[in-house]
Amino acid sequence: MKKYFTEVVLLFLIVLSSNILAQKYHSDNGNGTYTNPVIAADFPDPDVIRVDSMYYMVNTTMFIFPGVTILKSPDLVNWQYCSNAVQRFDFSKCYDLDGCNRYGHGQWATSLRYHNGKFYLLFITLNEGGFLCTANKPEGPWKIKHLPKGFYDPGLFFDDDGKIYVAHGYNKIYMTELNKNFKPVSKDSLIITGDIRKGLEGTHVYKINGYYYLYCTYGGLDGMQAAFRSKNIYGPYEEKVVINDTTHGHNFGIHQGALIETQTGQWWTMLFVDNGPFGRFPSLQPVTWVDGFPMVGVNGHAVTSYKKPDVGKTYPITTLPTSDEFDSTGLGMQWGWNHNPDSAKWSLSARPGYLRLETASVVDSLPKARNTLTQRMFEYYSNSLASDATTKIDFKNMKDGDIAGLAVFQDPYAYIGIKKESGKNFIIMVNNGKIIDSALVQGSKIYLRASAIYGSGAAHYFDGKAAPGTGTASFLYSTDNHSFTKFGNVLDMKFNLKIFTGNKFCLFNYATKKLGGYVDFDWFRTSPGLIEAARN
């Protein structure tokens, strides 16, 4: 009902006139090669396994639910959503934003394993402890269990003698044997102390050619990856740094991830690279075994473009979804709520073809608001300078004090939206809690746009010439979806550890006075930003 022909034609003409038809955010180059990052968005702390001919990857989502995202791929390059293993997390009122929050906390660095026909996810939250999720198939349903003991950055391992172990720890790495209920049956045995520098973590455990391997990172922006091996799971272990690339550019500090063997016998690793305010992006690197250690990249450096893994077949190019017309009965797996949602306060059926967000709590700011719907920002493999998100909102049913709109969220955050005050509607732009601009608006519908501009981050990411970690966001509005007006000022985007996820696009509606109001989002669409707009 909403995919109007005129809007489609207009969008095409805009893209054509801006010379950005070649923009893409998939890494497959279509000629047997790929370009890193393998996904240009915030999918950090990857663990990857192969089951038969399919690869599965889990990532950190922290306080976003549904979360604990699992992706699948037939070739390690073209990824699709498979499931969100944890639909909501009901182990503390803080996950409901009930007087407290879990920003910067929640699910961390999950270990993914497959054993005897069952999939396992083992993770820790810093506040609530250890958790195990299990499923007979990766699409779910998943069952979650609160464990008696938590393990920091766990590396789950099923040995071939039937024993179960977990490696864990920060700087000091311990090995613990578990029983079939995943309860410790041994003490935590110290097996490694990081001796290059502090920060050894992210341990994964493998058994290859009779050796136990611990695959760990010395983390940070200038991270490095190390491998340890021993004939005995309790050591002693010998250490080898397998990649330490501090070349200025898009591979700077590549670290933390998984080892993978393809069905054709090739070895690869999925690591990640910090990309400033846009988050931490997974990077696929070739592995060569040298003197019994898995050396990463080529000649000591991570690769940018490289021949795709040999998996025995060639598969179609895929892209992860971002835009949404809200025509389905359920939300796409690209969406996640900021903390647990109040499920009674949102709907895709109350007005078919629209996402309805009712006010769910009376609060004084966006970070405290429930039912804020978020998704990751994607960069483009090109010279585009921005990633735009545009939405159409019907706001005629707001109550006094309600604020609804489109945000770019981290710390700091900013948004453009509608505020209803004394029976009148105002378009406002807020930057880090402060109203920067306000103007009376007529009617009941408006189009809002957030343009996340890479700035020098784009040049950093794709040609390695500029400094990493930069980015800004601008905000615009329109009454006709043709001519957009910039409004307010520019958000200087950050990657603040208080939040610990990349900046996200958000749709929101919250009350500052009383409940009862609602807004309807007609659609949400992303596109490469116009180069001219990014420069102005």
Structure tokens at 524: 């949400």
* 473: Cβ contacts below 8 Å, ≥ 6 apart: 408, 414, 450, 451, 452, 453, 490, 491, 493, 503
- Tokens 């994964």 belong to 204
pLDDT of 229 above 60: yes
Strands 143-146 and 403-409: unpaired
pLDDT tens readout for residues 46-62: 999 999 999 999 999 99
The more confident residue out of 363 and 7 is: 363
Task: Determine if the peptide bond prior to 37 is cis (ω within 30°).
Answer: yes
pLDDT of residue 470: 73
pLDDT of residue 436: 98
In the three-class reduction of DSSP (H, G, I as helix; E, B as strand; rest coil), residue 462 is classed as helix
Q: Hey, what domains does the chain have and what are their CATH numbers?
A: 32-307 (2.115.10.20), 336-535 (2.60.120.200)
Region 272-298: mean pLDDT is 96
Whether the Cβ atoms of residue 498 and residue 103 lie closer than 8 Å to each other:
yes
* 311: Cβ contacts below 8 Å, ≥ 6 apart: 53, 74, 75, 76, 262, 263, 264
pLDDT of residue 469: 55
Which run of H or E residues covers position 14?
helix 5-17
Phi, psi for residue 337 in degrees, rounded to 5? -85, 145
pLDDT of residue 238: 98
Cα–Cα distance, 282 to 274 (Å, whole number): 9
Single out the residue of 376, 366, 369 nearest to residue 336, CA to CA.
Answer: 376
Phi, psi for residue 166 in degrees, rounded to 5? -140, 130
3-state helix, strand, coil in the chain (%, to 5): 5, 45, 50
pLDDT of 143 above 50: yes
pLDDT of 374 above 70: yes
HSE at residue 386, side-chain half, CA atoms within 13 A, is: 24
Q: Report the predicted TM-score, pTM, of the whole model to 2 decimal places.
A: 0.93
HSE at residue 211, side-chain half, CA atoms within 13 A, is: 17
pLDDT of 464 above 80: no
Enzyme catalytic residues: 45, 201
